[in-house]
Amino acid sequence: MSRGIRNPALPTVSGPAKVGAELIAGVEQSPAPQRLVNGSDSFAIVRAALRERLTDVGAQEAGAASTGLTGAVAG
């Protein structure tokens, strides 16, 4: 949406009123979401990126566990 504000020639893919309503709804949640994704295409892109990051981090699980202190409590 911010790209559309900077360049009005771009087509609008999100309704400003709907985005505003989601922002307000997010603020009224307790706890409020850390990130608010608007649009199904944006959601799919964010989800794919987070899954990729989790896969990358998951590959480090054994190494991470091997560096922990014996008897330490996981948080």
Distance, first Cα to last Cα, the chain: 37
Where helices occur in the chain by DSSP H, the ranges are 2-6, 16-28, 40-58, 61-66
**Residue 39 covered by a domain:** yes
Q: pLDDT tens for the chain, 75 residues: list them.
A: 566 567 777 776 778 899 899 999 999 999 999 988 888 888 999 999 999 999 999 999 999 888 888 766 665
pLDDT tens digit string along 16-34?
899 899 999 999 999 999 9
**Residue 32 covered by a domain:** yes
- For residue 6, the enclosing domain spans 2-59
**Residue 22 covered by a domain:** yes
